[in-house]
Chain A
Amino acid sequence: MEEFIGAWTARHGKSRDRLLPLLHAIQEEAGYVDDAIVPAIAQALNLSRADVHGVITFYHDFRRAAPGRHVVKLCRAESCQARGGAAIEEAAARRLGVPMGETRVDGQLSLEPVYCLGLCAIGPNALVDGRPVARVDAAALERIAAEVAA
């Protein structure tokens, strides 16, 4: 990972405002930004560890642990809530065997919250490995479960 950071900063610069693009690049490369790599990031951009840690934890988009092989995101924002999102969230956690916000012990999938996908009229909505799924109900959950079992 340190070589990756070196190569990236050589291409894109190492001024402090490069932090967000670098974090995105790392997440793309490794799937997440490991806490252990934070000192190297700080060193590369001449920031403190705290600076980098603050930014990573501020943006929900950045993961600090490897995600499951599949990622299911359920919308938790107002409209989806109004359309039964809370119940679906519970059902999903039970059916998929993983609490909200966590990765299943076998590493197969992560269940994560998301806040509004812009599909409010047809909620509750989900993203399954980046693909939107509207009107999530029990049947939809079964399909999702099957999909992420692979």
Chain B
Amino acid sequence: MTFARETDHGTPPALSTGKTVTLTIDGQSVTLPEGTSIMRAASLTGGSIPKLCATDSLESFGSCRLCLVEVEGRAGYPASCTTPVADGMVVRTQTDRLKQLRRGVMELYISDHPLDCLTCAANGDCELQDQAGAVGLRDVRYGYDGATNMGQLKDQSNPYFDFDPSKCIVCSRCVRACEEVQGTFALTIEGKGFDSKVSASQDDSFLGSECVSCGACVQACPTASLIEKKVVETGTPDRAVVTTCAYCGVGCTFRAEMRGEELVRMVPWKEGKANRGHSCVKGRFAWGYARHRDRILNPMIRASVSEPWREVSWGEAIAHTASEFRRIQAKYGTRSIGGITSSRCTNEETFLVQKLIRQGFGNNNVDTCARVCHSPTGYGLSKTFGTSAGTQDFDSVMKADVILVIGANPTDGHPVFASRMKKRLRQGAKLIVIDPRRTDLVKSPHVQAEHHLPLRPGTNVAMLTALAHVVVTEKLYDEAFIRARCDWDEFQDWADFVSEPARSPEAIEPLTGVRADEVRAAARLYATGGNGAIYYGLGVTEHSQGSSTVMAIANLAMATGNVGREGVGVNPLRGQNNVQGACDMGSFPHEFSGYRHVSDDATRGLFERAWGVRLDPEPGLRIPNMLDAATDGRFKGIFIQGEDILQSDPNTHHVAAGLAAMECVVVQDLFLNETANYAHIFLPGSTFLEKDGTFTNAERRIQMVRKVMAPLNGYADWEIVQLVANAMGLNWTYDHPSQIMDEIAALTPTFAGVNYDRLEAEGSLQWPANEAAPAGTPTMHIDGFVRGKGKFVVTGYVPTDEKTGPRFPLLLTTGRILSQYNVGAQTRRTGNTAWHPEDRLEIHPSDAENRGLKDGDWVTLRSRAGETTLRALITERVAPGVVYTTFHHPETQANVITTDFSDWATNCPEYKVTAVQVSASNGPSEWQQDYAAQARNSRRIAPLEAAE
């Protein structure tokens, strides 16, 4: 693959009106959509007009005057970027007069630009340089003795990119990128005329400004003024490989730009249908962990967790793993072992791990980290609609009129999607936010929610039922839709239930703490404001009534007819990059791939024939039940791929006790994570840069992950699983992940039409992709629900048993922030720590004052499960009575606090509600100290002996 920049047509495609116009450009007749700029028209027909201030990710601006053209019958020289094509127009883009004009403009730019091209980091990758060449500029008549903007100080505060004002041509592409693409409005042009310069916030450093380091400005900059530090260090790339981000469920695709074997930068891919050329700080910049010195590259084993690790060969590690598992099964029974698949790994790897367990372990004890995040989504949406997935693609949000965000904080959790959403909001869509915290969406520059319903954590079902109450009692429901698409009798039962006065906004006000008139207004807006789209996150699922809340959301969408077309729908914002895929691939103990129950004889028969074994028809254990069974002495061995359950799962004491009771814990990961402190075998994993495969994002979009470098640890993760399987006597012969996908497609009806050739050709596919939907399925349930009739499920409000009282008067809720990722194993090992060096406890000023706390004080956070310490951050983002923290840092161990209450249907833990007390403290808790000591002890490694 050779290196070529993606083509830049200068201006974005015209908004489609369906009409076209025909014109002549340089003698060539062309027909194009109305509204296309002359610049884009010329580019699409193979020409190229010099430009500096235009780029096709931004609206045209018309400031540089380099793109002048001649239009017959028009006076002067219009800028081609701002002039739309018109019928019968005759345009000339290359004449002597134009050349002269353009050269004159370019000469002025260059007269105030350093001429150090040969030593500039962007040499060869600079539009100014290219355009100077294109207009044939050879010398500058003005000399360089006058006042210039050269020699200004660079801003190197951002960990990933530099800003060098001397090289800036004030085209304001960066300012516009920050506004139009990212929606942060962190940049401006300060001053005017000759003195004008780019300023972050109020002439702050980039790091000190509101900049969230998404990189959009760097990508938009035509010069080396904004440039990645890594390019300065390494030089410009010489090849590019398109791959998919391994952080979150948005699934941004990137061009991994390489110089030899070294990754120079990740540039968001314009063709990517999930991200449309945008990115966030994690995917764009935070990939340095792949080469971090903490990465473990040799397999290790030990007899007990109090011993140091002993590095061994792959052969020994694999054989040991297989013999331990077989030994345990011989002693304690087939069902005494199990495994956990990872939402961080590829579909193919996940599929193999569950296959290893079902085929090789001979039981269904497989679960996945989705247990702790979106299992209620799977349950709730399959009960009501018939599919365990969101209904829309991301593009759909651009057609929404009312956006209802519940328990999600997309600007931090799903930043690239949040940028799209904010763009739509700036175009005039209305926003309702249901969240205990005043998240960024509630109010940030140029975006403001119409209604914010700051409910008490744990009252989601009561709130959604109250919204439904208003919709039903005020007759705002869509009867035609319901009659056509749902079961009318079930609707009536549900309508009767929600209409009861006890479920009115007024009646539940004391529970939720939200003013009834706000709730009524929000319900009316959602039901009558045009296309209503619901987006929700873990603030919905991670509750004792997570599944009920998902069903209540589905009810509301069906009642208002907001399902089955673009601009509407029910959209879970999936956390991990491949959480959708991990669920699709049969990672749950009761389901095969494609959400088919293990007790279904036909499905099981299919797998039994393909795999040549008898399969267990009984569901296996979920993660918390595995840990319970371990504590009871009935579960003795576990294979954990790419997940840190000790840090990420609730009630750390419970997890630790369960792991400690096992005889063989195998951890396959990049780093010695917290769970590995309890492991007996460590198999080093590979990063997404080192393997081929696919991820499935929150839109059900299957996208390619491509190997850009050889695995440092020797094997891709799927190869390691295959080694274990074969050591256990299975006879797997996969040479490439594409063969695994072929097996998935053969065994899973919704994936029947998926294969690598198609993914290569089409870039991505949204499942279901099969005979019934050959092109995949961007919007689901268009002509009817997957389950037939949409099902209204009556969802009674059952308050959680986790209640505040005199001992634990505050409610703790948890979340994450933009720059860190979940347990932080990767992001903590990158420059992203510049933004979030520690977890902080957000507390309302009044609660802080009652406890005599000042901002930054160390506090003890205590629940009935345990206690930890961290520093306080006093803020009005949280309501009085509510405290909030993130869980990115192992030192904090926020999950020591969370309890083992969980969703009634899926056991998804109730992370979002824990009764706590907060008090002043002067240092780490006893558990933190003990744990730190144990972790240090447990991480000792005795290196591999030289002779093997």
Q: Measuring CB to CB, which residues of chain A are less than 8 angstroms from any residue of chain B? A: 16, 35, 38, 42, 46-54, 57-58
Contact = CB atoms under 8 A, between A and B. Distances in A.
B190 A46 contact: no
Contacts of B201: 48-50, 53
A48 B203 contact: no
Given A42-B445, A53-B203, A54-B199, A48 B186 contact: yes
Contact of A50 (B191, B199, B443): B199
A58 B203 contact: no
B202 A46 contact: no
Given A35-B202, A48-B185, A50-B199, A57 B190 contact: yes
Nearest to B202: A53
29 contacts: A16-B446, A46-B443, A46-B444, A46-B445, A46-B446, A46-B448, A47-B446, A48-B184, A48-B201, A48-B210, A49-B201, A49-B209, A49-B210, A50-B185, A50-B186, A50-B187, A50-B188, A50-B201, A50-B209, A50-B210, A51-B188, A52-B202, A53-B188, A53-B203, A54-B189, A54-B190, A54-B199, A57-B192, A57-B199
A51 B202 contact: no
Contacts of B200: 50
Contacts of B448: 46
Given A46-B443, A48-B201, A57 B185 contact: no
Contacts of B188: 50-51, 53-54
A42 B210 CA distance: 12
A42 B184 CA distance: 13
A26 B203 CA distance: 21
A49 B201 CA distance: 5
Contacts of A38: 202
A47 B183 CA distance: 11
Nearest to B211: A50
Contacts of B191: 57-58
5 A-B pairs closest in CB distance: A54-B188, A48-B185, A48-B445, A50-B188, A53-B202
Nearest to A60: B192
A119 B7 CA distance: 54
A50 B172 CA distance: 13
Main DSSP-derived SS at the B contact region: loop
Interface string B238-265: 0000000000000000000000000000
A48 B445 CA distance: 5
A72 to B, nearest CB: 22
Contacts of A49: 201-202, 209-210
Interface string B168-196: 00000000000000001111111110000
B203 A51 contact: no
Interface string B307-339: 000000000000000000000000000000000
A58 B192 contact: yes
Interface in B189-233: 189-192, 199-203, 209-210
B199 A53 contact: yes
Nearest to B197: A57
Contacts of B209: 49-50
Contacts of B203: 53
B168 to A, nearest CB: 15
Given A49-B202, A54-B190, 4 more contacts: A46-B445, A47-B446, A48-B186, A51-B188
A118 B444 CA distance: 43
B213 to A, nearest CB: 15
A22 to B, nearest CB: 16
Contacts of B184: 48
Task: Find the residue from A46, A49, A50 having the highest chain B CB count within 10 A.
Answer: A50
Contacts of A48: 184-186, 201, 210, 445-446
A35 B203 CA distance: 10
A27 to B, nearest CB: 17
B181 to A, nearest CB: 15
Given A35-B202, A53-B199, A53-B203, A47 B190 contact: no
Contacts of A54: 188-190, 199
Given A16-B446, A54-B190, A47 B185 contact: yes
Interface in B434-459: 443-448
A57 B185 CA distance: 16
A123 B199 CA distance: 37
A35 B190 CA distance: 13
Contacts of B443: 46
Task: Find the residue from B186, B190, B445, B447 having the highest chain A CB count within 10 A.
Answer: B445
Nearest to B446: A46
Contacts of B185: 47-48, 50-51
A125 B199 CA distance: 34
B202 A47 contact: no
Nearest to B204: A49
Contacts of A51: 185, 188, 445
Contacts of A50: 185-188, 199-202, 209-210
Contacts of B192: 57-58
B851 to A, nearest CB: 27
A54 B209 CA distance: 14
Contacts of A52: 202
A47 B192 CA distance: 20
B190 A53 contact: yes
B183 to A, nearest CB: 10
A20 to B, nearest CB: 15
Interface in B461-495: none
Interface string B781-796: 0000000000000000
Contacts of A53: 188, 190, 199, 201-203
A119 to B, nearest CB: 23
Nearest to A52: B202
A47 B445 contact: yes
Nearest to B189: A54
Contacts of A47: 185, 445-446
A107 B192 CA distance: 27
Task: Find the residue from A48, A53, A54 having the highest chain B CB count within 10 A.
Answer: A48
A52 B192 CA distance: 14
A38 B201 CA distance: 10
Contacts of A57: 190-192, 199
A35 B201 CA distance: 11
A35 to B, nearest CB: 6
A52 B188 CA distance: 9
A58 B189 CA distance: 8
A78 B203 CA distance: 32
Contacts of B444: 46
B317 to A, nearest CB: 53
A47 B188 CA distance: 12
A52 B210 CA distance: 13
Contacts of A46: 443-448
Nearest to B188: A54
A148 to B, nearest CB: 27
A23 to B, nearest CB: 14
A13 to B, nearest CB: 14
Task: Find the residue from A42, A47, A54 having the highest chain B CB count within 10 A.
Answer: A54
Contacts of A16: 446
A42 B190 CA distance: 16
A115 to B, nearest CB: 11
A39 to B, nearest CB: 8
Task: Find the residue from A35, A47, A52, A57 having the highest chain B CB count within 10 A.
Answer: A57
A99 to B, nearest CB: 16
Nearest to A50: B188
